[in-house]
Amino acid sequence: MIITTTPMIEGKKIVKYLGIVTGEADDPKYNLTEAIKEMEEKATSMGANAIVGVDLDYEVALDEENILYFILASGTAVVVENI
């Protein structure tokens, strides 16, 4: 699956937009990878073969004893010709 922050994939035609997909994770060691993996799994289940317009964001929160890190990945699941 192609995953990109750009709104299109050079040399490829987007033939169908399937909707927004998100992924999130709170494991500080693997959070970016897990958020992207979750987003990719959701896109695959929708029939997508690419995700465009990916945005990565994070949030830091405090509880009584710990600093918590959250990563959010979001993008648009699409079907692209000739992958």
What 30-37 contacts at long range (C-beta under 8 Å, 24+ apart), as own/partner pairs, is: 31/58, 31/69, 31/70, 31/71, 32/56, 32/71, 32/73, 34/71, 35/71, 35/72, 35/73, 36/3, 36/73
Tokens read off for 70: 């959250």
Q: What is the CATH number of the domain that holds 10?
A: 3.30.110.70
The pLDDT of residue 68 is: 83
Region 50-63: what's the mean pLDDT?
Answer: 93
Residue 30 has pLDDT above 80, yes or no: no
Q: Domain of 13? A: 2-80
Task: Provide the number of structural domains found in the chain.
Answer: 1
Q: How confident is the model at residue 67 (pLDDT cuts 50, 70, 90)?
A: confident
* Distant-in-sequence, close-in-space partners of 42: CB < 8 Å, separation ≥ 6: 21, 22, 23, 77
Amino acid at 8: M
